[in-house]
A and B are shown apart, each in its own frame.
Chain A
Amino acid sequence: MTLPPNDEPAIRVRDLARRFGGFIAVRGISFEVARGEVFGFLGANGAGKTTAIKMLTGLLLPTSGEARVAGYDVYRETESIRRHIGYMSQRFSLYEDLTVRENIELYGGIYGLSDERIAKRSTELIARLGLHDVRDTLVGSIPLGWKQKLAFSVAVIHDPAIVFLDEPTSGVDPITRRQFWEMIYTAASKGTTVFVTTHYMDEAEYCDRVSIMVEGTIAALGTPNDLKSRYGAATIEDVFVRLARPAA
Chain B
Amino acid sequence: MTRGRADARAPNLDEPVVVRDVVKRFGDTVALDGVSMAVRRAEIFGFIGPDGAGKTTLFRILTTLLVPDAGEARVLGMDVVRDLWQIRPRLGYMPGRFSLYPDLSVIENLTFFASVFGTTVDAARDVIAPIYSQIERFHDRRAAALSGGMKQKLALCCALVHRPDVLFLDEPTTGVDAVSRREFWELLGQLKASGLTIVVSTPYMDEAGRCDRVALVQRGRILELDAPGVIGSRYRHPLVAVRGGDRQRVLTALREFPHAVSAFPFGETIHYADARSGSDPAAIARELDVWLAQRGLDGARAEAAQAGIEDVFMDLMETPRPQAAA
Contact = CB atoms under 8 A, between A and B. Distances in A.
Do the two chains touch directly in the complex (Cβ atoms below 8 Å apart)? yes
Interface of A: 43-47, 90, 126-127, 129-134, 143-146, 167, 170-176, 178, 181, 185, 189, 199-202, 205-206, 224-225, 235-237, 240-241, 244-245, 247-248
B155 to A, nearest CB: 14
A130 B324 contact: yes
Contact of B319 (A175, A237, A241): A175
B175 A90 contact: yes
Interface stretch (B15-23, B81-89, B177-185, B277-285): B177-185
Among A45, A46, A181, A236, chain B packs the most CB atoms within 10 A around the CB of A45
Nearest to A228: B268
A244 B51 contact: no
A54 to B, nearest CB: 17
Interface string B146-159: 01110000000000
A46 B148 contact: yes
Given A199-B175, A244-B179, A189 B324 contact: no
Nearest to B218: A173
Contact of B324 (A47, A132, A172): A132
B265 interface: yes
Interface string B176-216: 11111111000000000000000000011110000000000
Interface stretch (B107-115, B118-126, B309-317): B309-317
Given A129-B322, A200-B204, A171 B174 contact: yes
Contacts of B323: 130, 132-133
B177 A45 contact: yes
Contacts, number: 118
B175 A244 contact: no
A131 B322 contact: yes
Contacts of A170: 174-175, 203
B264 interface: yes
Contact of B50 (A43, A134, A172, A247): A172
A132 B321 CA distance: 12
Contacts of B180: 44-45, 248
Interface string B122-155: 0000000000000000000000000111000000
Interface string B283-326: 00000000000000000000000000010011001011111111
A145 B320 contact: yes
Contacts of A43: 177
A247 B150 CA distance: 13
Contact of A181 (B175, B205, B265, B317): B265
Contacts of B178: 44, 199, 201, 237, 240-241, 244
Interface string B256-273: 000000001111100000
B145 to A, nearest CB: 10
A171 B50 contact: yes
A144 B51 contact: yes
B248 interface: yes
A176 B51 CA distance: 12
